């Protein structure tokens, strides 16, 4: 391979002429208004502007024709009717909502966007919108000295992407992910800029290969695509949380996941037989190590044919699944898009006879090699095909399966380009388009087909979907794991900013393969990684064929005991985590977040890569390097309490914290609270008693939060079967006050009260004014 030798840097390879000439959009010629859309005719193209809400404006440039405004795969809402004022002067044309001013300079056509506080958030100067003859479109925006950039979906490297050039092209990368691995499995062409404590967002809704260049200049950045329209949304913020609410208003929020999917998952490529899976499950039960899910990787299938079981390895999958369910364990099988070319295989036969596979324009099916050998690929861009695929999942649901793992859906193909021929012509619901344009949404649409099919087949139960590839909006269908990492300490380190940036990109339910997928893990790495995993939104231990087995007991009792403690802790924290997932489903806020999301005015948080928050009041400071038992922890404003020792720590300071192998430093902000359940057993995981741990603070501080619960399994919460408690905690000189602001819903949990426990004060607790330590539900 080229990049593997110094031939890659051979002097003869240097490009002689790399100056790119873009054609600028030119001057404004005239403006017209159609409904809620402003259409600007410029000398070299047309630009449409629409306000989606007061705080979200869309800009669409099309150099060839009128901008197309209805073809998004990511955006699920239509523009609201927004009251705007317009002002037409000799030099400018301005449109103003209550939250944003769009200042359009006429000659040349340049857009400046100003927020409600008069701050210019997005601006164009020498360069604006432009394109090239080959179809490339590009937008240049001014970069300020204090700009920090986050999001961009799934990317390696650090949190802040200033100084990076990022590429979006869904790619299967088995080679070790490193800071210069750019395109990975997910493409989310979205980012958030944090400037002087205030944030705004840009979503570039273009499914072609796209680039975000925050590197070439210190004065401007750009985003570009190989084709399509220059179509982007600006979200006003100004708080990072508001940017995320605005972005997920456009692209959707995650449905409430089944509670079991928030537990511990055990996986391996592969547990190859029914006997092996039963033994694995029995080990968890005997050792009292919690597990909710066992994944079945490709070996469960007959010759890697999807929608089959290998009857020699798995003679009775129904029985296996129901026996495991009694043990409190679900089975999640892998389903890849590649359908084996085999004329005796019903799925292939149906796919061919019903014309469901991706084809070239001339009519030939596209074939590529994946695990089953030569395979064809369903054309998920077509509604009819998505339905077909979705219905096929009755094969799994009829056996009692409630979750599916979609892999290789970039789609990955074993060839030089690693994917499908870009010339393949997708049907795209009546608007045929090449794979070059739709590559980045193939995984999203497979996820849609799978999620919707599972939901239909499960008749009222919540499906779980894990997907490797995706695009903006993937959160509507599935959780995402970060693909084929390795058992390197560096990959444990990198997983933190990676998961945090995914969270900042609207995908709340994510996590890496705990322990590392490829390479041999070791006792210490697995232990430290399990501590982190206990608090990443998605928590799955997965390892690759040919490398060491890495179940929690593989390295002896000492390590097993520590991992068991942390996996159990996941369940102790489940009430808190579930409430945060509820928040993600309502507002789009991530469960695991960088500190900058809560402390946008604190520069020390702007590139803090080795700590993270769970919700708005808990900081995790894991040990991420071998042989280390001390680390520096930065605590922002407020006072903080060690979860393990109850010791107080001052905020806006760094601390040297000691953490033996069994310790994960966790800090809770004084004045706030966390909801805790308990670990019972694998067979009975429901919370039986609930405790609200209050971390007493200085007088006059108060904290509000929402506790949420429901049956965790069905959609009956949509009909009022839930419990939602809005709480406020206030500390005064002589008491801790808890106020139940609101209690809503008909769900009756098995616990009937919330017990209140105070850490750091002996003052009496007042609940709604009366001395007590229980809240009756």
Looking at the Cβ atoms of 413 and 618, the one nearer to ligand GLC is 413
Cβ at position 368, least distance to ligand GLC in Å:
15
Q: Could you tell me what percentage of the chain is helix, strand and coil, using 3-state DSSP and rounding each to the nearest 5?
A: 20, 30, 45
What is the spatial distance between Cα 221 and Cα 569, in angstroms, rounded to a whole number? 44
Whether the CA torsion 256, 260, 264, 265 is positive or negative: it is negative
- Token look-up 């944030």 returns 199
| 3-state secondary structure at position 251 | helix
Cβ at position 671, least distance to ligand GLC in Å:
42
Looking at the Cβ atoms of 94 and 181, the one nearer to ligand GLC is 181
Please name every residue paired with 541 in a beta bridge, in sequence order, or none if there are none.
266, 514
Q: Write out the DSSP string of 671-737.
A: T-EEEE----BTTB-S---EEEEEE--STT-EEEEEEEEE-SSBSGGGGT-EEEEEEEEEE-SS-EE
Catalytic residue among 226, 407, 513, 598: 407
Looking at the Cβ atoms of 122 and 370, the one nearer to ligand GLC is 370
What is the spatial distance between Cα 682 and Cα 280, in angstroms, rounded to a whole number? 13
Q: Are 125 and 158 a contacting pair, CB within 8 Å? A: no
Catalytic residue among 272, 484, 551, 710: 484
Give residue number: closest CB to ligand GLC. Answer: 269
Residue 297 interacts with ligand GLC (CB under 6 A): yes or no: yes
Site string for ligand GLC, 536-555 (x = CB under 6 A): ------x-------------
49, 101, 298, 413: residue in contact with ligand GLC (rule CB under 6 A): 298
Burial class (CB in 10 A: 0-12, 13-18, 19+), 362: exposed
Q: Are 366 and 357 a contacting pair, CB within 8 Å? A: yes
402, 407, 410, 551: residue in contact with ligand GLC (rule CB under 6 A): 407
What is the spatial distance between Cα 78 and Cα 73, in angstroms, rounded to a whole number? 13
Residue 269 interacts with ligand GLC (CB under 6 A): yes or no: yes
Query: Distance between alpha carbon 290 and the CA centroid of its chain, in Å?
Result: 24
Looking at the Cβ atoms of 274 and 484, the one nearer to ligand GLC is 484
Cβ at position 405, least distance to ligand GLC in Å:
8
Lookup: tokens for 236: 């006003």
Residues 514-533 that bind ligand GLC (CB under 6 A): 517
382, 437, 484, 610: residue in contact with ligand GLC (rule CB under 6 A): 484
Q: How many CB atoms lie within 10 A of CB 760?
A: 18
CA angle 752, 753, 755 (to 5 degrees): 150
Backbone angles phi and psi of 673, in degrees to 5: -145, 160
Catalytic residue among 154, 231, 410, 437: 410
Looking at the Cβ atoms of 38 and 314, the one nearer to ligand GLC is 314
Looking at the Cβ atoms of 409 and 731, the one nearer to ligand GLC is 409
235, 291, 334, 424: residue in contact with ligand GLC (rule CB under 6 A): 334
Looking at the Cβ atoms of 367 and 414, the one nearer to ligand GLC is 414
Residue 483 interacts with ligand GLC (CB under 6 A): yes or no: yes
What is the spatial distance between Cα 700 and Cα 555, in angstroms, rounded to a whole number? 49
Q: How many CA atoms lie within 13 A of 389 on its CB side?
A: 29
What is the spatial distance between Cα 476 and Cα 470, in angstroms, rounded to a whole number? 11
CA angle 418, 424, 426 (to 5 degrees): 115
Number of residues this chain uses to bind ligand GLC (CB under 6 A): 10
484 is catalytic: yes
Q: Are 28 and 104 a contacting pair, CB within 8 Å? A: yes
Cβ at position 171, least distance to ligand GLC in Å:
12
421 is catalytic: no
410 is catalytic: yes
Catalog residues that contact ligand GLC under the rule CB under 6 A.
269, 297-298, 334, 407, 468, 483-484, 517, 542
Catalogue the active-site residues.
407, 410, 484
């Amino acid at each position: 391979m080229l990049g593997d030798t110094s031939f890659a840097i051979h002097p003869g390879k240097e490009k002689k002429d790399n100056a790119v000439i873009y054609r600028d959009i030119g001057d404004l010629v005239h403006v017209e208004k159609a409904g809620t859309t402003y259409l600007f005719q410029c000398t070299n193209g047309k630009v449409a502007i629409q306000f989606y809400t007061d705080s979200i404006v869309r800009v669409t440039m099309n150099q060839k024709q009128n901008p197309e405004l209805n073809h998004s795969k990511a955006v699920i809402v239509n523009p609201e009717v927004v009251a705007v004022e317009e002002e037409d002067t000799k030099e400018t044309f301005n449109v103003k909502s209550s939250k944003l001013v769009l200042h359009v300079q006429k000659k040349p056509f340049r857009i400046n966007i100003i927020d409600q506080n008069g701050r210019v958030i997005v601006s164009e100067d020498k360069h604006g919108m432009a394109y090239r003859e080959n179809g490339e479109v590009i937008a240049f925006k001014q970069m300020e000295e204090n700009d920090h950039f986050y999001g961009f979906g799934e990317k390696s490297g650090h949190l802040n992407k200033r100084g990076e050039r990022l590429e979006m092209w869904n790619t299967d990368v088995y080679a070790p992910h490193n800071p210069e691995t750019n395109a990975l499995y997910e493409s989310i062409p979205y980012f958030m800029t944090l400037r002087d404590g205030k944030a705004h967002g840009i979503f570039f809704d273009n499914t072609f290969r796209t680039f975000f260049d925050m590197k070439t200049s210190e004065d401007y950045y750009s985003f570009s695509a190989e084709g399509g329209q220059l179509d982007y949304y600006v979200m006003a913020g100004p708080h990072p949380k508001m940017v995320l609410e605005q972005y997920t208003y456009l692209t959707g929020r995650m449905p409430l996941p089944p509670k079991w999917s928030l537990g511990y998952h055990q996986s391996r490529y592969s547990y190859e037989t029914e006997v092996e899976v039963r033994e694995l499950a029995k080990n968890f039960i005997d050792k009292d190590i919690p597990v909710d899910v066992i994944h079945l990787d490709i070996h469960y299938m007959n010759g890697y044919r999807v929608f089959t079981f290998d009857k020699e390895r798995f003679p009775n999958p129904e029985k296996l699944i129901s026996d495991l369910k009694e043990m409190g364990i679900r089975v999640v099988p892998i389903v890849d898009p590649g359908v084996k070319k085999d004329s005796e295989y019903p799925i292939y036969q149906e796919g061919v006879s019903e014309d469901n596979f991706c084809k070239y324009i001339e009519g030939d099916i596209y074939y590529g090699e994946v695990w089953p050998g030569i395979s064809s690929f369903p054309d998920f861009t077509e509604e009819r095909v998505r339905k077909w695929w979705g219905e096929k999942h009755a094969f799994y649901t009829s056996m009692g399966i409630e979750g599916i793992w979609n892999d290789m859906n970039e789609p990955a193909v074993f060839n030089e380009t690693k994917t499908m021929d870009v010339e393949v012509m997708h049907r795209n619901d009546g608007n045929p388009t090449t794979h070059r344009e739709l590559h980045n949404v193939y995984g999203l649409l497979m996820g849609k087909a799978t999620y919707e099919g599972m939901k239909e087949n499960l008749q009222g139960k919540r499906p779980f979907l894990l997907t490797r590839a995706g695009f903006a909006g993937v959160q509507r269908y599935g959780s995402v794991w970060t693909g084929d990492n390795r058992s390197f300490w560096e990959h444990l380190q990198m997983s933190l900013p990676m998961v945090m940036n995914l969270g900042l990109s609207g995908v709340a339910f994510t996590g890496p393969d705990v322990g590392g997928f490829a390479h041999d893990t070791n006792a210490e790495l697995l232990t430290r990684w399990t501590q982190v995993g206990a608090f990443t939104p998605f928590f799955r231990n997965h390892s690759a064929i040919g490398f060491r087995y890495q179940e929690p007991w593989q390295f002896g009792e000492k390590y097993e005991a520590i991992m068991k403690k942390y996996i159990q802790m996941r369940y102790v924290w489940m009430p808190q985590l579930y409430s945060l997932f509820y928040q993600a489903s309502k507002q789009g806020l991530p469960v695991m977040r960088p500190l900058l999301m809560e402390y946008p005015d604190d520069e020390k948080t702007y590139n803090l890569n080795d700590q993270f928050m769970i919700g708005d009041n808990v900081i995790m400071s894991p040990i991420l390097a071998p042989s280390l038992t001390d680390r520096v922890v930065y605590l922002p404003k407020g006072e903080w309490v060690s979860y393990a020792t109850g010791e107080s720590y001052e905020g806006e300071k760094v601390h040297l914290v000691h953490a033996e192998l069994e310790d994960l430093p966790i800090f809770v902000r004084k004045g706030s609270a966390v909801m805790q359940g308990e670990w019972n057993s694998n067979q009975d995981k429901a919370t039986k008693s609930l405790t609200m741990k209050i971390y007493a603070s200085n007088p006059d501080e108060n904290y509000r939060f929402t506790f949420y619960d429901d049956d965790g399994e069905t959609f009956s919460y949509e009909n009022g079967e839930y419990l939602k408690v809005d709480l406020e905690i206030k500390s005064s000189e002589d008491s801790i006050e808890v106020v139940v602001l609101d209690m809503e819903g008909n769900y009756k949990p098995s616990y009937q009260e919330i017990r209140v426990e105070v850490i750091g004060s002996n003052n009496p607790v007042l609940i709604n004014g009366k001395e007590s330590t229980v809240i009756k539900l």
